[in-house]
Amino acid sequence: MLKRSFIGEIVSEKESLKGSRVTVCGWVHRIRDLGRVKFLVLRDRTGFIQATLKAGVTPEEALQAAEDLRLESVVCVSGLLSEAPTKEGVEIKVESLKVLSSPVEPLPLEPEGSEKAALPVRLKYRWLDIRNPKVSSVFEFEAFVARVFREYYTREGFVEIFTPKIVAAGTESGAEVFPVLYFDKTVYLAQSPQFYKQFAVIAGLERVFEIGPVFRAEPHHTARHLNEYHSLDIEVGFIEGYDDVMNYVEGFFRELAKRMEEDEVARKAMEAHGAEPPRIPASGIPRVTMREAYEILRERFHKVIPEGEDLDGEAEKMIAAYAHEEYDSDFIFVTEYPWKVRPFYTMRKSGEPEWTYSFDLLYRGLEVVTGGQREHRYNKLLENLKSKGLDPRSFQFYLDFFKHGAPPHGGAGMGLERIVMQSLGLSNIREARMLPRDTERVMP
């Protein structure tokens, strides 16, 4: 490893480091040449610092190395850290400058202000776009969300699992799947770890979670859909009802909101994007049934959704507005979704089989979590499959899990990119994915 210090560390410890020799490596963000004095602004992922070269003071070898510098050249600079009238309050008086590489053609996208460019251009030159600290803060925040998820559920006694992404059949009845040629047979990329996280609970692990990619071959062209994204999944056994699952989901988002106020990486990302931690009432995230949601939409917003149908994007925003106005909450659970729009493994409501023990969690107007109680009774699963017009033989490998004793269980899947998008107020989910995959894009 190159012997260097992160710029952010130097700036934060500048009082104790003034007068000492420091080395930083990064990209040349800005160049100001005044003839006998040249100012370089250097950037690494932790911040910016000015480096100053002066004729007659700076060693000749360093002055010559600086002659042909271009924006985004990669350099290492060593010198004395001195007080200066800069934003950081210090600068490096250059003693040596080593150029590690330089651009070989004009920049097609300048990192500074790249977020103002058209999104297709940004995604085409993503390696330059992410050099913009505002953009890179999205992915540092994304790592923060995944870390909080892992830490929270580990603390709650969940076991992290790692499930196959090559599967024999789709899990979401009706959703499209990507076929894959697997030796002499056709298999599919996993739409979710659903079957296998249930397997883990039935196998005796009882409480499990996973962070992993999922694939949806749906031809969406919206600002909130991707064909590949990362899902934060949980599954828990021995539940009394799907309220237990919602409580585990709410616990995570409470932890996330709290940590967003405490964590420096999260605070910097929110500051860069003008965002604030989400509001959650002390009394809990409000919960309304789907039938109550229909009524709220009809009476408050004059929007009619036929009974048994799902909420569209406009309706989700309206229900979120209701939660904000009535409960001062950025979240709301919508429960008891219609059987018509839920997968076959969902448990149907006792006495009202056209409804289910399932839920979505809306976050600032967008569904970010789907979950519920699973049907754990073998014969009921057979009935559910037939009700959906599915052939039980195609799901026999899954049905076999339930032949030897399955506890009541439920779980949820959370969209990592959607959580990041709503937390930072991004306008398009592609901004929350380093290299998004949609109907047109498979490169870079």
* Mean pLDDT of the 244-270 span: 98
- The pLDDT assigned to 2 comes to 79
Residue in the structure block whose two tokens are 């030159």: 125
Tokens coding 92: 């490096």
- The pLDDT assigned to 410 comes to 98
* Mean pLDDT of the 118-145 span: 98
Say if residue 244's pLDDT is above 70: yes
Tens digits of residue pLDDT in 318-357: 999 999 999 999 999 999 999 999 999 999 999 999 999 9
Question: 38: how many CB neighbours lie within 10 A of its CB?
Answer: 20
Tens digits of residue pLDDT in 41-81: 999 999 999 999 999 999 999 999 999 899 999 999 999 99
- The pLDDT assigned to 172 comes to 60
- The pLDDT assigned to 68 comes to 87
Tens digits of residue pLDDT in 264-307: 999 999 999 999 999 999 999 999 999 999 999 999 999 999 99
Say if residue 173's pLDDT is above 60: no
Strand-by-strand arrangement of the 409-415 sheet: 159-160, 207-215, 228-237, 409-415, 366-373, 358-363, 331-335, 287-289
- The pLDDT assigned to 140 comes to 98
Q: 219 pLDDT band (50/70/90 cuts)?
A: confident
Question: 198: how many CB neighbours lie within 10 A of its CB?
Answer: 24
* Mean pLDDT of the 357-386 span: 97
* Mean pLDDT of the 15-23 span: 96
Q: 169 pLDDT band (50/70/90 cuts)?
A: confident
- The pLDDT assigned to 168 comes to 82
Mean pLDDT for the chain overall: 96
Stretch (H or E) spanning 290: helix 290-301
Say if residue 238's pLDDT is above 60: yes
- The pLDDT assigned to 171 comes to 64
- The pLDDT assigned to 1 comes to 73
Domains present along the chain, CATH in parentheses: 7-101 (2.40.50.140), 127-432 (3.30.930.10)
- The pLDDT assigned to 300 comes to 97
Instruction: Give the span between the Cα atoms of 40 and 2, in whole angstroms.
Output: 20
Which residues fall within 8 angstroms of residue 256, CB to CB, at 6 or more apart? 145, 148, 149, 152, 278, 419
Instruction: Give the span between the Cα atoms of 307 and 309, in whole angstroms.
Output: 6
